[in-house]
Amino acid sequence: MDDEALRELHRRREAAERMGGAEAVAAWHAQGRLTARERIAAFVDPGSFQELGKLAGAGRYDAQGRYLDFTPSNSVMGRGEVDGRPLMVVADDFTIRGGSSEAAVAEKWIYAERMALEFRMPLVRLVDSAGGSVKLLARSGRTKLPGYPLWPSTALMGAVPVLSAAFGSCAGLGAVRAIAAHFSVMVRGQAQVFAAGPPVVKQGLGLDVDKEALGGADLCTRVSGAILNAADDERAALAQLRRVLSYLPGHAWEAPPRAANDDDPGRREPALDTAIPANRRRVYAARPIAEAICDRGSLFELAPDFGASLRTYLARLDGHAVGFMINDPAQSGGALTRAAAQKLERFVDLCDSFHLPVVHLVDQPGVMIGPEAERAGTLIAAARAGAAIEQASVPWVSVVLRRAYGVGGSMLGPWSGPHGTSLNHRFAWPSARWGSIPIEGGVAAAHKREIEAAGDPDAKRRELEAYYEHLGSPFRTAEAFGVVDIIEPAETRPLLCRWVRDAVRLTQLQPAPKRRTLR
Amino acid sequence: MSTLLRSPATGTVWQFAARLDEPLAAGTVALYVESMKMEIPATLPRAGRIKAWLVREGDAVEEGQPLAELG
């Protein structure tokens, strides 16, 4: 072999390792940030990264055409492993030309995504990109209609898990790469995600707004829901990505892996028998109920700050990964708000796409009411969430803990599912009450004249409410088999751990991509 | 620096549950907002005192509306 050629290969590789150069990297570290290569190293199993496309970039040559120097592409990508399972990872390098997407040699990051699709491996994007740069026009000498024809962004969402972390200001395409994922996380105080940053907003709208207010973690994870989770630092964000991958299959053609479990599937939890206050106006904490039922330490909450009247967890029952939802009455009374409905739709699509059986613990007063909720489009969001549930073919079980009222209360699980065979498998705790309308208020409305005509209207109303209260007993519903069974709260875990065995047998028999992707 | 306690829900201020200027632990219920026929507690995000109420019992409040000034 020509020694000179090998030496040039090594020099080019070394140039790629230097990224934006010692000075740019030092300045980057001074901000407390990891480089693209350090992020990948911190994310994948040690020694597992096989880089691809390391030589892509822009070379400089002398007058005789001999190699002088090389500026690498600002996208680092390749194959790696997490917990021994393969995936594709692609990281933006902001030390080179601001991580701008048009300086990235687009073929390279798109190749990573196409490879994930072809080889059915999860795709992980470590995003730090300011979007397009007008400077590219000077280089190419022309403009193009926007878009990347070979980028399989939507197809990927139905085929393999797509996860993203945002580490800096991500605008335009960078923002879309962060958002269009099954799971997304951003570093609080360091990352912003928006269509366009403050200078563009100033020019277009004349508004002065700082980047945190425009697209910081508070905005994205609490208000818009564009990004699901926030992390306090970069390593915490990478740890969240690894954790989420542990619940998911490598692709949509297989069921999720089962984890070792040393928590007794038959464990009864007597504390659950008193978890629901007798006074129905009183709230209780939802998370301890989820913790008592699932395998110890197995809960990972998705979108904890968005639509918080519904809590969505990746969790495990006897080692099997499940999607676990529970209403949180301490947040908006547990009502189905616009945000909670959007969160529900997205979560159900995720569970259905990757064969996570769904457990739904219900205390649902109904769709959120009031002028603010109507303006926000709560009803259309609720209708979409209901459609997502009905389109789900993954096994599903619901347990009504307290309330199930109205349209929101009808959305416990699929009525017949896309194949017409789904069981709406419903259980309830003795504290449950349900109906088209709650008794309080419902009595006052339906018996208005009778109450007004009584000598003591308050006493009459209470008498009528007591009468309806007896009719509202869940045992009467169970007599008519309107619910499969009323169970002791303490025995919820044993029941669900037995159920999940059957559910997983089903998901293992039928692992195939769903026709719709997460939208 | 003072911070604001914000309403956990849209509804009406049902009942104050804590007193002004007393040291309170994180998680203490400051007041209840009645919403969707429930008493939703507004709790202190961290230990501190309630310096001033910004609402009265019976007031209609929106989710996120400041209820009290914390110090």
B24-50 pLDDT tens trace: 999 999 999 998 888 999 999 899 999
User: Is B36–A334 a contact, with Cβ atoms under 8 angstroms apart?
Assistant: yes
What is the structure's pLDDT at A6? 93
A270-429+487-509 shares the fold of A35-55+73-247: yes
Give the domain ranges of chain B: 3-70
CA distance A311 to A314: 10
User: Is A334–B41 a contact, with Cβ atoms under 8 angstroms apart?
Assistant: no
The fold adopted by the segment(s) A270-429+487-509 is: 2-enoyl-CoA Hydratase; Chain A, domain 1 (3.90.226)
For residue A14, what pLDDT band results from cuts at 50, 70 and 90?
very high
Which one has a higher pLDDT value, A145 or A119?
A119
Of the partner residues B8, B36, B62, the one whose CB lies closest to the CB of residue A365: B36
User: Position A454: which residue type?
Assistant: A
In terms of CA atoms, which chain A residue is nearest residue B38?
A281
Phi, psi of A439 (to 5 degrees): -65, -50
pTM exceeding 0.80? yes
Class level of CATH domain A35-55+73-247: alpha beta
The stretch A47-64 carries a mean pLDDT of 94
Give the domain ranges of chain A: 35-55+73-247, 270-429+487-509
User: Is B40–A332 a contact, with Cβ atoms under 8 angstroms apart?
Assistant: yes
The stretch A316-330 carries a mean pLDDT of 97
User: Is A330–B40 a contact, with Cβ atoms under 8 angstroms apart?
Assistant: yes
Q: What is the pLDDT of residues A340-371, one digit of tens each?
A: 999 999 999 999 999 999 999 999 999 999 99
Tell whether the model's pLDDT for residue A97 goes beyond 90.
no
For residue A314, what pLDDT band results from cuts at 50, 70 and 90?
very high
User: Is A332–B62 a contact, with Cβ atoms under 8 angstroms apart?
Assistant: no
Say whether the ipTM exceeds 0.90.
no
For residue A472, what pLDDT band results from cuts at 50, 70 and 90?
confident
How many CA within 13 A on the CB side of residue A155? 11
Of the partner residues A282, A332, A441, the one whose CB lies closest to the CB of residue B9: A332
Question: Is residue B30 within 8 angstroms of chain A, CB to CB?
Answer: no
In terms of CA atoms, which chain A residue is nearest residue B10?
A332
Tell whether the model's pLDDT for residue A274 goes beyond 90.
yes
Of the partner residues A330, A372, A438, the one whose CB lies closest to the CB of residue B37: A438
User: Position B10: which residue type?
Assistant: T
Q: Which of A193, A144, A190, A198 is nearest to A172 (CA)?
A: A193
What is the structure's pLDDT at A12? 94
Tell whether the model's pLDDT for residue B69 goes beyond 60.
yes
User: Is B63–A332 a contact, with Cβ atoms under 8 angstroms apart?
Assistant: yes
Q: Which residues of B touch A283 (CB under 8 A)?
A: 38-41
| CATH of span B3-70 | 2.40.50.100
In sequence order, what are the beta bridge partners of A125?
A90, A164
CA distance A260 to A431: 34
